[in-house]
Chains A and B, each alone.
Chain A
Amino acid sequence: MFEEIFDAALFDSATRAMIPILLAALGGMICERAGVFQIALEGIMLAGAFAAVAGSYLAVSWTLGVVFGIAAGMLISLALAYGTVTRRGDPIVLGIALNLLAMGLTGFLLPQLFDVRGVFQHPRIDGLDRIAIPVLSDIPWIGPVLFDNTLLTYVALLLVPILWVFLFRTTIGLRLRGVGERPLAAETLGVSPTAYKYGAVLASGALAGLAGAQLSLGNVVQFAENMSSGRGWVAVVAVMLGRAHPVGVLAAAALFALAEALGFRFQGNGLPVQITDALPFVVTLLALIIARKRFARLLDLTTAA
């Protein structure tokens, strides 16, 4: 029974489920470190997914699709940055408004631009290819799961150590953390909180936009209405659960992805779809309640090291 469920295919689907959550959560993490509560990840991801498909369709090129996804994410996050940083609005109210806007706008543009409802599929849409990394991808079991994936998968995984170094070893990372913790103290030392917050929010937009591109050009090659379906919210939770630490965020994203993959598997085994769909969110809830303290201590150790 156990081996039947936990096979390579499960981990393959878990990896695919994890990458969009991880990308968006890493973006949310940067915002959190800069002291901006980023709750618009869901909407940004959805807009990114739509723009990526649109861009890829127009140019018949996944590169342009990815660029479009990033651009759409940054555009929405620019609105968030302007509203929360410059105008000092409430990030929660604004974030929810932007999420609703993204949902409405993609739902509206889908029939307007492509004359379809619900799902948009077309041979012109150029999806992300799987790139097998020589040698590594030949490792039995792990190889095909981790090292035969889309470019964005590698980007996401590499971003974990890169962002760790960025946050904890570079001057910009130190100043970003300072701004997030005590903006006034940073300002008295000549570090502008506004600039750093803008940078962080825009970066999170780019990353959540990438998450959308992976979703619509990597995991599948199509756009479906509301296809982010809660992954952005899961990413928000992953930031909290992972205590805005790259390794913690990776662990949290992996946990949720595993739950999602398990859900699919159980669905195949005949469990009602409503229950399996709820699984990632049940795990989210449980993780938040049970693991909070233990996680916190573990991560304190890694941060201190």
Chain B
Amino acid sequence: MTFELELRGITKRYPGVLANDAVDLAVRPAEIHAIVGENGAGKTTLMSLLYGLFPPDEGEIFIRGEGVEFSSALDAIAAGLGMVHQSFKLFPTLSVADNVVFRQEPRRRGLIDRAASAARVRDLADRYGLAVDPEAAVEDLPVGVLQRVEILKALYRDAQVLILDEPTAVLTPQERDQLFEVIRRLRDAGRTILFITHKLGEVMAISDRVTVLRNGRAVADLVTAETDPAEITLHMTGRAVDLDRRAPEHQPDEAVLEVENLTVLGGHGRAVVKEASFQVRSGEIVGIAGVAGNGQSELIEALCGLREADTGTVTLSGRDITTADVAGRRTAGLAYIPEDRYGVGTTRQASVSENLLMGHHREETVQRRGWFDRNAVARLTRRLVEVFDIKVGSVSGPVSTLSGGNLQKVVVAREMEHGTPLLIAEQPTRGLDIGAIEFVHSQLIRYRDQGGAVLMVSAELSEILALSTRILVMFEGSIVATLDPRNVDEPEIGLYMTGAHLEAAVA
């Protein structure tokens, strides 16, 4: 049979790394083909090669039986490929229609025919169930809709093969289900979909076939209906992993953090956190769920002293820290694992050792007569690198050479080392592979079991459900629900995350 898309023996080497090692991939027409693997398994490299972003060192690409060589993404687009990148490549101030027709604008008398472009976008959107307003400015749209715009861009360019790179990472459960519906429609209309993910649940739910990558090699090509998550996991990791481990029962103790009626103003004086009240007790993990941009970041920044609170009080271990500065709050007993480990969590130019020292630099144990005690610093570094199993060539080398997982370990190690009563963890496992996620989770649980209070924000509902003692859901700046993870499931949390419970109440 003729494959819609076939890769044979694709190899790509980087200095010291074999990113893709003789990868074979065969995709049949009109199938949903999942590509799974841990981070670093070579998924992104493989897709970039396929999409013409850089050439492979060895190997061939065939589309409908014909050998092709792409020197740029344009060649790939011309050959009928369309890619929806993980980070969207859209123009924020332009309208949806302008974004879609960019560089292939319908024209009338030399000017852009805006009516025609809006009509064509609406037509495509209707056909595949991609509800979107062509006139809306992209910057005003939620992430789920942005993704539809990216899909429309590919369809407008008549992509027969659509590559979706980790498409659900930013979606709510409802948006994810809508996306799956769109993907099925596209398949039924004869298009072929390559679905890149590291989530097994999605592989099982949506794909017809699945190719597993591990360490740059394609280790398995399976028919989804004939396999199960355990088998795929085994191929992905080379070992059995128990991911669905619920946090053991634990008895929470007295309140460490008390937040009362906290309101935080954003730009234009608009309240981005509205009268939030909650407690975090020692020995519990409180998980904040919500679609990104509903006030979670601002709430955390206000708690950490990075943003001013408008009204309300924040009490930490009995002390009112509402107006305290960052240093004051840290002394009062909080540590913070920020969402952005590159920009906020670490200083790229500094060494691993220096990054581990930051925040501990005031402690007397690492000082002698006002100067750093180099031996003490080395001891601290060595201990953290060992305990947290940070894979690093040299602790005096720049931290920017570390992989995402190891970089996150640096941040987690440093913040946990403070041993403060409260630990704030913002998206602690975003972008990490299964092994690193497991590790960070076990560290958070250890922290809790030692009597720490943990406040965690996460976009991953599975993570929230697996770790939290209690779940708070934020929607448009308000805490709209406090849930017990034993009594809810993902769809129910999703209803609160999208404000659907409010509409239900009105109706």
A residues with CB within 8 A of B: 165, 169-171, 174-175, 177-178, 181-182, 184-186, 188-191, 304
Is the Cβ of A171 less than 8 Å from the Cβ of B112? Answer: yes
Answer whether A181 and B102 are a contact pair too, CB < 8 Å, given A165-B111, A174-B112.
no
Roughly how many angstroms separate A251 CA and B102 CA in the complex, as a whole number?
30
Binds A, one of B24-32, B92-100, B189-197: B92-100
Is the Cβ of A177 less than 8 Å from the Cβ of B89? Answer: no
Roughly how many angstroms separate A294 CA and B137 CA in the complex, as a whole number?
21
Nearest neighbor of A190 in chain B, beta-carbon distance:
B74
Is the Cβ of A190 less than 8 Å from the Cβ of B90? Answer: no
Is the Cβ of A186 less than 8 Å from the Cβ of B102? Answer: yes
Chain B residues contacting A186 (CB-CB under 8 Å) are 91, 102
Chain A residues contacting B107 (CB-CB under 8 Å) are 171
Is the Cβ of B92 less than 8 Å from the Cβ of A174? Answer: no
In the complex, whether B202 has a CB less than 8 A from a CB of chain A is no
Is the Cβ of A181 less than 8 Å from the Cβ of B92? Answer: yes
Q: State how many residues of chain B have any CB contact under 8 Å with chain A.
A: 19
Is the Cβ of A174 less than 8 Å from the Cβ of B98? Answer: yes
Answer whether A178 and B94 are a contact pair too, CB < 8 Å, given A169-B111, A191-B103.
yes
Is the Cβ of A185 less than 8 Å from the Cβ of B111? Answer: no
Nearest neighbor of A191 in chain B, beta-carbon distance:
B103
Is the Cβ of A184 less than 8 Å from the Cβ of B91? Answer: no
Answer whether A181 and B105 are a contact pair too, CB < 8 Å, given A170-B111, A188-B89, A190-B74.
no
Binary contact readout B81-95 vs A (1 if CB under 8 angstroms, 0 otherwise):
000000001111110
Chain A residues contacting B102 (CB-CB under 8 Å) are 174-175, 178, 186, 189, 191
Roughly how many angstroms separate A174 CA and B77 CA in the complex, as a whole number?
20
Is the Cβ of A189 less than 8 Å from the Cβ of B103? Answer: yes
Nearest neighbor of A293 in chain B, beta-carbon distance:
B268
Roughly how many angstroms separate A189 CA and B92 CA in the complex, as a whole number?
16
Roughly how many angstroms separate A65 CA and B110 CA in the complex, as a whole number?
33
Is the Cβ of B90 less than 8 Å from the Cβ of A182? Answer: yes
In the complex, whether B73 has a CB less than 8 A from a CB of chain A is yes
CB distance from A149 to the nearest CB of B (A): 29
Chain B residues contacting A304 (CB-CB under 8 Å) are 137
Give the interface SS of chain A, mostly helix, strand, loop or mixed: helix
Nearest neighbor of B103 in chain A, beta-carbon distance:
A189
Roughly how many angstroms separate A184 CA and B105 CA in the complex, as a whole number?
19
Answer whether A185 and B90 are a contact pair too, CB < 8 Å, given A171-B105, A178-B102.
yes
Nearest neighbor of B89 in chain A, beta-carbon distance:
A185
Sampled A-B contacts (19; CB under 8 Å) = A165-B111, A169-B112, A171-B105, A171-B112, A174-B94, A174-B102, A177-B91, A177-B93, A178-B102, A181-B92, A181-B94, A182-B92, A184-B89, A185-B91, A186-B102, A188-B89, A189-B102, A190-B103, A304-B137
Is the Cβ of A178 less than 8 Å from the Cβ of B111? Answer: no
Residue from the set B91, B107, B111 with the largest chain A CB neighbour count within 10 Å: B91
Chain B residues contacting A181 (CB-CB under 8 Å) are 91-94
Roughly how many angstroms separate A169 CA and B72 CA in the complex, as a whole number?
29
Roughly how many angstroms separate A175 CA and B91 CA in the complex, as a whole number?
10
Chain B residues contacting A169 (CB-CB under 8 Å) are 111-112
Nearest neighbor of A179 in chain B, beta-carbon distance:
B91
Chain A residues contacting B137 (CB-CB under 8 Å) are 304
Nearest neighbor of A180 in chain B, beta-carbon distance:
B91
Chain A residues contacting B93 (CB-CB under 8 Å) are 177, 181
CB distance from A187 to the nearest CB of B (A): 8
CB distance from A259 to the nearest CB of B (A): 29
CB distance from B101 to the nearest CB of A (A): 9
Near A by CB (< 8 A), chain B positions 323-362 give none
Roughly how many angstroms separate A175 CA and B103 CA in the complex, as a whole number?
7
Roughly how many angstroms separate A181 CA and B91 CA in the complex, as a whole number?
6
Roughly how many angstroms separate A113 CA and B70 CA in the complex, as a whole number?
56
Near A by CB (< 8 A), chain B positions 98-154 give 98, 102-103, 105, 107, 110-112, 137
Answer whether A174 and B105 are a contact pair too, CB < 8 Å, given A185-B90, A190-B74.
yes
CB distance from B150 to the nearest CB of A (A): 10
Is the Cβ of B73 less than 8 Å from the Cβ of A188? Answer: yes
Nearest 8 Cβ contacts at the A-B interface: A185-B89, A190-B74, A169-B111, A171-B105, A189-B103, A181-B91, A178-B91, A188-B73
Task: List 10 additional contacts besides A174-B98, A178-B102, A190-B77; criterion CB under 8 Å.
Answer: A171-B105, A171-B112, A177-B94, A178-B94, A181-B92, A182-B90, A185-B90, A186-B91, A190-B73, A190-B103
CB distance from B139 to the nearest CB of A (A): 10
Binary contact readout B312-323 vs A (1 if CB under 8 angstroms, 0 otherwise):
000000000000
Chain B residues contacting A189 (CB-CB under 8 Å) are 102-103
Residue from the set A170, A177, A190 with the largest chain B CB neighbour count within 10 Å: A190
Roughly how many angstroms separate A185 CA and B146 CA in the complex, as a whole number?
14
Chain B residues contacting A174 (CB-CB under 8 Å) are 94, 98, 102, 105, 112
Roughly how many angstroms separate A174 CA and B117 CA in the complex, as a whole number?
13
Chain A residues contacting B98 (CB-CB under 8 Å) are 174
CB distance from A204 to the nearest CB of B (A): 21
Chain B residues contacting A185 (CB-CB under 8 Å) are 89-91
Nearest neighbor of B104 in chain A, beta-carbon distance:
A189
Roughly how many angstroms separate A177 CA and B93 CA in the complex, as a whole number?
9
Chain B residues contacting A178 (CB-CB under 8 Å) are 91, 94, 102
Chain A residues contacting B110 (CB-CB under 8 Å) are 170
Chain B residues contacting A182 (CB-CB under 8 Å) are 89-92
CB distance from B155 to the nearest CB of A (A): 14
Roughly how many angstroms separate A270 CA and B475 CA in the complex, as a whole number?
63
CB distance from B115 to the nearest CB of A (A): 12
Nearest neighbor of B75 in chain A, beta-carbon distance:
A190
Roughly how many angstroms separate A165 CA and B114 CA in the complex, as a whole number?
13
Nearest neighbor of B83 in chain A, beta-carbon distance:
A188
CB distance from B91 to the nearest CB of A (A): 5
Chain B residues contacting A177 (CB-CB under 8 Å) are 91, 93-94
Near A by CB (< 8 A), chain B positions 358-408 give none
Roughly how many angstroms separate A178 CA and B107 CA in the complex, as a whole number?
18
Roughly how many angstroms separate A169 CA and B74 CA in the complex, as a whole number?
25
CB distance from B51 to the nearest CB of A (A): 9
Roughly how many angstroms separate A184 CA and B90 CA in the complex, as a whole number?
9
CB distance from B80 to the nearest CB of A (A): 15
Roughly how many angstroms separate A171 CA and B112 CA in the complex, as a whole number?
6
Chain A residues contacting B91 (CB-CB under 8 Å) are 177-178, 181-182, 185-186
Nearest neighbor of A185 in chain B, beta-carbon distance:
B89
Near A by CB (< 8 A), chain B positions 221-239 give none
Residue from the set B73, B93, B105, B137 with the largest chain A CB neighbour count within 10 Å: B93
CB distance from A174 to the nearest CB of B (A): 6
Chain B residues contacting A190 (CB-CB under 8 Å) are 72-74, 77, 103
Roughly how many angstroms separate A207 CA and B372 CA in the complex, as a whole number?
58
CB distance from A171 to the nearest CB of B (A): 5
Nearest neighbor of A169 in chain B, beta-carbon distance:
B111
